[in-house]
Amino acid sequence: MSILCRYNLLLNPAPVISTSSNHIPPRVTLPQLPHPLPSTTTRSITAQSNSNTMGNQTEQLQSAFKLVGFKNFVRTNPKSDRFQVNRFHHIEFWCTDATNAASRFSWGLGMPIVAKSDLSTGNQVHASYLLRSGDLSFLFSAPYAPSISAGAASTAAIPTFDAAACVSFAAKHGLGVRAIALEVADAEAAFRASVANGAEPASPPSLLDGRTGFAEVRLYGDVVLRYVSYKDASQVSDSNPSRWFLPGFEASAEAFLELDYGIRRLDHAVGNVPELAPAVEYLKNFTGFHEFAEFTAEDVGTSESGLNSVVLANNSETVLLPMNEPVYGTKRRSQIETYLEHNEGAGVQHLALVSNDIFTTLREMRKRSFVGGFEFMPSPPPTYYANLHKRAGDVLTVDQIKQCEELGILVDRDDQGTLLQIFTKPVGDRFVIFSFFFFILFSFFVPTLH
């Protein structure tokens, strides 16, 4: 499925949608790096507005880094990874109350709490609860009081967890993503290759329990890119979470394993950054990831708001990391700019989750929207679905189109297939257009006929 379809309606998810043609999805923007990039990074994007009038709302892309836009972008895969990346391993959220955060997400997304590391397991530093559905793993961590954790660092299951840093993170950003974890062939090798190519180290490599590699480098803002590897590949199929996840975790006796709304994996994790060029340069340099797609305001913006975006991917294109920057000088303030202000800097804006049956997933999630679950953005107008019979009647049945309208699902298609998607409202309480939200996907892998 086209990456363009995946990002549809990022600018205006409460749509005023054209009913005469396929609407074009907006791009995603990346968060900014936590510290200045090395001086060797010289490329930058500067958006300049000549005036506030429509005719002069233009951007000037300066330096060697120049976006060509979705239509002119030619995707190639040079297989340039500097180390072997297998997949997304997990996403860790930092908060101040892991018990309630994990319970809400478990209930709202249909992801059972399958493992834990807390006082009951001997962890005196942090409480961490792991949610899992299919290949998707969310970890929620919060600190214990200093009076409890003092001198107990060795009991922490996450070796890089820092109570003071977590409290500061929560005060600055609210509930948010601290780590995007990747499963790699060798965490130590990945770390050393990354640092050798410009990555700022966050935590040196360690071998947990003599069998699980663990290391971190800085990604953008207060977000880290975490590397996890296993000496014995067979341990990922072990039933013990201390083997298939991380040492120090135990199975949760309270797990309601039947809780399942059909969400299966993470498609992409999107970050917002003040400046796109240095962020892209930084990540490309130390990972070797290639450009999978790019978008400019002309591709996905409106006369009132816009953004620029680049999507980076690993060799197998199982890990997609889009990054966005705001476009200035438009009538309405870019939602990326708003995010950066309320988040107090760069960070993960949204996570795109793939469902094996979006109709079932949405019915279950909507049942719980006002009883501890997640609310969704407003649905398109009836005219959108009336026109859908013409646009997608050869792929979707009449009943499926009816269900799309009932559940507020958006439908996009291009020459690679058809995509069904929907956006939640922000899941935090900060007044941000997209402080953090989920984006539920389901693809029909049926080529569009010409």
pLDDT digits (tens, 9 = 90+) for 362-387: 999 999 999 999 999 999 999 999 99
The 8 Å CB, 24+ separation contacts for 382-386 are 383/19, 384/15, 384/17, 384/19, 386/19
- pTM, entire model: 0.85
Distance between CA 116 and CA 159 in Å, rounded? 15
Find out whether 205 and 184 touch, Cβ atoms under 8 Å.
no
pLDDT of residue 398: 95
Chain-centre distance for alpha carbon 211: 28
| Residue ranges, the chain, pLDDT below 50 | 1-4, 8-62, 431-436, 445-450
Query: What local confidence, expressed as pLDDT, does residue 38 receive?
Result: 32
Detail the DSSP E strand segments found in 59-143: 85-94, 113-117, 126-133, 136-143
What pLDDT does 49 receive? Answer: 35
